[in-house]
Amino acid sequence: MILGRVTGNAVAVEKHPCYDGKICLVVQPVDPVSRKDVGRAFLALDAVQAGEGDLVLASREGNTARQLAGGPDDPIHSVVLAIVDRVEIGES
């Protein structure tokens, strides 16, 4: 899983039917400590009603994404699966 921040969403009219009615979020991976952007943003379907600004856990792996956001034969490869409340580093 990847720690990231939801920075927005993407909209498409012409799309694979498995994306109908689903929300496609833009997720920017962030460093767990500094919370600064690392790497490039990607698209992920929303499984937890996340919104812009939320710190989230996203999976970029097809099996997880298909289980949470679609069916077994859907071309979905990434999903937002949790809204993160806090990250504890070291002894709490």
Would you give the DSSP letter of residue 27? E
Looking only at residues 43 through 62 of this chain, which bind another protein when binding is defined by CB under 8 A?
A: 43-45, 52, 61-62
**List 33, 34, 49, 73, residue binding another protein (CB under 8 A):** 73
76 near another protein, judged by CB under 8 A: yes
Residue 21 binds another protein, judged by CB under 8 A: no
C-alpha to C-alpha distance for 50 and 62, rounded to whole angstroms: 20
Instruction: Give the long-range contacts of residues 33-42, CB within 8 A, separation 24 or more.
Output: 33/89, 35/5, 41/7, 42/78
Task: Write out the residues near another protein by the rule CB under 8 A.
Answer: 7-16, 19, 24, 26, 28, 40-45, 52, 61-62, 65-66, 73-78
